[in-house]
Structure 1
Amino acid sequence: MDYLFVIIVCLAFLSTTISYEETFENSTNLCDRCKCITSSREFVLDCQNKGFRHMIANWPEHNATLIATFSNNNISHLEILPDSDYVRDVILSRCGIETLGNGAFKAVKNLKYLDLSYNLLTTEEIAPEKFKGPYNDTVYEPLLIEHLDLSYNRIHSLPHNIFEHLTTSLTELNLAGNKLKILDHQTQVALSGLTNLKGLNLANNDLTELVGDAVKNLQKLRTLNLAMNKLDFVPETLTLLSDSLQVLYLDNNLIYELTDESFLGVKGIRMLSLTNLARLQYVNANAFSPLENLKILFLSDNPSLTTIDRDAFRENQVLEELYLHNNSLKDLHYNLTNWPTLRVFSLNDNDLICDCDLYNISQHLRPQIKQNGDGPYCINPMTDASMMIYRLTEEACDYEAEYNNSSHVINKHFRVLKLAFLTISAVFIFTGLIAVTIAFLRYRRYKMNRNYPFTTQVTYNPLRSSIISN
């Protein structure tokens, strides 16, 4: 009987062991399978591309801050991470994760950075119980995650209470590359509760607007990324973030114009990115005037941008970095901005005509900027030769005068030719109309004659008729 009992216990233990190994990766001698890098301050566990199908059962022995990466594995279901007070960063990108175990991160109490990007998570699989903290008497304690990366999953909406265990700690949220075509009511409620959020990435979601209720409570938000969406104007709701917003990305949108109202009420922005706007043609007067604190402007790679109004900035704005490369600019006014304050300036790959403005701009740029030996270039309007802008001389002002005079003569001749062409065209059209009218009338008369039954007209004479009768 005792022998039978021992067998049953052994089988039960073996069954438990097999089940355990099926749920978790064997962690014995883990540093032989993965790369372990130790220092006095950090322990790095690198388990990328190891063919893992489950989370590890235990962490290697460590007594320093632990950073763990499991990218590019095959973990379709993520179970609860092993217990540790030292784990700070966990990277689980590109693991094919479809589902999360309830409380998957509750045992890593001091986790600050969690990367779940490029997985297969859906709205249904990011319920609040997935992010609950350790249980304490009657409640779940909040997680301390500060940076949560859910980018490039399959999320079309956020559950309204998804962040209930992260409300106070979360400062950076990345939702780029999902399916958030609209910020529905649930998503608005979820975002509005993140009152300590400093960075929000909504890029590449096909958004057509930024709903005010989604951001109105984010009064600590400093960075907002709206790139690669379908915005055809700068969202008016940005005024709700006026006191905090410092960095704004609007690249790769459908924005077609920038006016004096585009950035009205968002004076706190220090860095603005407006690149790859395929429809943008003009930057109108005072477009950037409301941005009192603007220091860095990316306005490059806009293939249709030909004109920046000379009054696009306010008079006392002090830019430090200005990127205007790879547009279709024809000219650039010297009065556009305060050129000596620029530390970085990029103007390559435009269609600029050499003139006095470009010469004066080059004279007032810092020497460090003009050390670039590969452009930018402009075209001499008199010779069609390409000239480096930073090497222009005062002769550029003469080019402009001669070009304007030549243009005046050409335009005068063109107006004369145009008038002559219009006059001749009018005569031809009038003559043609008359010819067509005459031809139509003759044709109509011809048709009438053919349809009449007699070749000559018969006239009725009553007198002759009576003589014949007698």
Structure 2
Amino acid sequence: MYPLFLVILLVPAACGIGCPPGCECNDDTFVVQCVHGRLDVIPITLNPAIQRLVLKSNRIRSVDSALQFYRDLRYIDLSSNHLVSIPSGNFLYQERLQELHLYNNTLSSINTTTFQGLKSLTVLNLRKNYLDELPKRLFSTLTKIEELDLGENSISRIDPLAFDGLRNLRVLYLDDNNLSMVPTPTFSVIGSLAELHVGHNGFTILPDDSFKGLSKLTVLDIRSAGLSNISLNAFRGLTMLRSLNLADNRLQQIPTAQLQHLVRLEELTIGQNEFTVLEKGAFKGLSNLVKIDITSAINLERIEKGAFSDNLNLETIILVSNKRLESLEDGVLVGLPNLRRLVLRENSFKTLSESVTSWNELKALELTDNPINCDCQLLWLLKSISSRNLTNVQCSTPLQLRDRSLRTLTADDLGCSFRDPRQQAIIITFCVSATILLGLLCLFLFRYRLKVREALKDYKWNKRAISRKEHEYQKTFSDEDYITRTGQHYIKPIPVTEL
């Protein structure tokens, strides 16, 4: 039996006239939304058949017994209120509830009876509260829970059996807490976990077998954890891992040997660390890698040829905001037949060589916000932009082209002497051929120099002999002798016939 005053209050709700001011109540979809209102308590005058209740950004301080009147609820959102506590037993009648969102409140403690009755709950969001400890079997009544968000709290201690009973848990957020080490002992009871987010804590080292028991893990996020050292076998056992985020830590070099345990890794995010070079074979063993993101690596200066030689399945390479990275070595990205997207924004590139990679299969190139010098070396890129619409590049230098888009320029603007690439190819071929022929000639002369020298001597001697004979011949048959000789002979006149 309910108290008489509650029965009286329920009468208008049954008549469909109990929607509080500032709320939207839809009796067709059974959805009630009271967002950014001034509610101090959960209203009890709503349609008892509602299934979705959104009370975000109000002034509600407690989850009280009002929820017992809405037994068909599937979804409750009490985010951004002033909740301080949740008395035991207030969810006893919410057997159909699937999602409960308590984000951004002031809850400082919960216990094993807090969520009694939530037999169908699959999502529980407790992010951004003031929880500091997770005691033993805290969530044991939530046997169907699949996603648990405990991020942005003050958790510093987790009992090894805190998650005991969560056999269906797939996604766990423990990021942005006060953990000083990875809570490895707790993982043995949640072997079905697929996603783990433990970044923004106070780790400095990942010891061997840090994630023991999580053989089904596919996503691991350890960003901003203060990591400076990763033990050789830290990732041992994570044979199913597909995505790893190590961004914003203090790694001095790429943990090549440690990553080799992750044979199925497809996505790696490793920017905002302190390494200066990507060495040859930096990602050795990661043959299934599809995407790599190196953003804001403030000390990165060089990428060696062969850094990605083991990663033939790479489709996306992101190199963004690496301010000390001024160039890419010729051929550094050659040999990646599946590369489709290359993002090179906000670095310090002044030019980009056509021989950096094979451009035939590339579908997207981003080169914006670099100090690009627009000269004839970028003629190939201009033609690629025009034909394939790859990227929008703005010139920084020379002065007369500053802030102009490369796609609007011509070969003359870039200072190119020859516009037609075929003409350039012919000239280059001619020069190369001439150089080769000249080299062969020099080699021939050097090898047969003695014979050539003798031939030249013979030629000069013969020439001198011929000259002497000609001189003597000329003396023998001088003009005077010729006239004398011809005068001694009678010349018969030629008769002329008159017509």
> How does the TM-score come out when normalised to structure 2?
0.65
**Range with bigger deviation, 253-262 or 188-197:** 188-197
Shift of 1:242: 4.7
Alignment check: 8 A CA contact 1:55 1:79 kept: no
SS at match of 1:360: helix
What does the per-residue CA deviation read over 1:346-368, in whole Å, with 9 as the maximum and x for residues that have no partner?
A: 11111111234422123235867
What does the per-residue CA deviation read over 1:53-104, in whole Å, with 9 as the maximum and x for residues that have no partner?
A: 2235333855756111111222211212223231111000111001234312
Cα separation, partners in 2 of 1:377 and 1:203, compared to 1, 3 Å = same
Distance (whole Å) between structure 2 residues aligned to residue 300 and residue 306 of structure 1: 12
Aligned equivalent of 2:352: 332
Aligned equivalent of 1:53: 84
Please state if 1:174 is matched with 2:197. Answer: yes
**Aligned to 1:144, which of 161, 168, 172?**
168
Distance (whole Å) between structure 2 residues aligned to residue 49 and residue 382 of structure 1: 53
What does the per-residue CA deviation read over 1:167-217, in whole Å, with 9 as the maximum and x for residues that have no partner?
A: 2x1111111000111124xxx445122111111111111212322322021
Distance (whole Å) between structure 1 residues aligned to residue 386 and residue 123 of structure 2: 43
Aligned equivalent of 2:57: none
**Aligned to 1:244, which of 258, 264, 289?**
264
SS at match of 2:106: coil
What does the per-residue CA deviation read over 1:390-420, in whole Å, with 9 as the maximum and x for residues that have no partner?
A: 233333664489xxxxxxxxxxxxxxxxxxx
**Aligned to 1:156, which of 177, 180, 196?**
180
Distance (whole Å) between structure 2 residues aligned to residue 182 and residue 102 of structure 1: 26
SS at match of 1:358: helix
Distance (whole Å) between structure 2 residues aligned to residue 359 and residue 296 of structure 1: 25
Alignment check: 8 A CA contact 1:162 1:190 kept: no
Cα separation, partners in 2 of 1:357 and 1:269, compared to 1, 3 Å = farther
Shift of 1:238: 4.3
Aligned pairs, how many?
356
Distance (whole Å) between structure 1 residues aligned to residue 240 and residue 321 of structure 2: 31
Distance (whole Å) between structure 2 residues aligned to residue 26 and residue 258 of structure 1: 54
Alignment check: 8 A CA contact 1:170 1:196 kept: yes
Alignment check: 8 A CA contact 1:192 1:213 kept: no
Please state if 1:317 is matched with 2:337. Answer: yes
SS at match of 1:224: strand
Distance (whole Å) between structure 2 residues aligned to residue 377 and residue 37 of structure 1: 61
**Aligned to 1:391, which of 390, 408, 427?**
408
Distance (whole Å) between structure 1 residues aligned to residue 110 and residue 334 of structure 2: 54
Shift of 1:321: 1.7
Please state if 1:27 is matched with 2:59. Answer: no
**Aligned to 2:314, which of 278, 283, 294?**
294
Distance (whole Å) between structure 2 residues aligned to residue 149 and residue 397 of structure 1: 53
The one-letter code matched in structure 1 to 2:66 is N
Alignment check: 8 A CA contact 2:128 2:151 kept: yes
Please state if 1:82 is matched with 2:116. Answer: yes
Task: Give me the identity figure in percent.
Answer: 23
Cα separation, partners in 2 of 1:190 and 1:277, compared to 1, 3 Å = closer
The one-letter code matched in structure 2 to 1:161 is P
Alignment check: 8 A CA contact 1:309 1:336 kept: yes
Aligned equivalent of 2:129: 95
SS at match of 1:78: coil
The one-letter code matched in structure 2 to 1:176 is G
Rg larger in structure:
2
**Relative CO higher for 1 or 2, CA cutoff 8 Å, sep ≥ 6?**
1
Distance (whole Å) between structure 2 residues aligned to residue 131 and residue 387 of structure 1: 59
Alignment check: 8 A CA contact 1:334 1:361 kept: yes
> How does the TM-score come out when normalised to structure 1?
0.69
Alpha carbon RMSD of aligned pairs, Å? 2.9
Alignment check: 8 A CA contact 2:269 2:294 kept: yes
Please state if 1:266 is matched with 2:306. Answer: no
SS at match of 1:55: coil
Shift of 1:279: 0.9
Cα separation, partners in 2 of 1:311 and 1:223, compared to 1, 3 Å = same
**Range with bigger deviation, 57-66 or 313-322:** 57-66
Cα separation, partners in 2 of 1:94 and 1:379, compared to 1, 3 Å = closer
Distance (whole Å) between structure 2 residues aligned to residue 264 and residue 53 of structure 1: 51
Alignment check: 8 A CA contact 1:163 1:190 kept: no
**Range with bigger deviation, 59-68 or 143-152:** 59-68
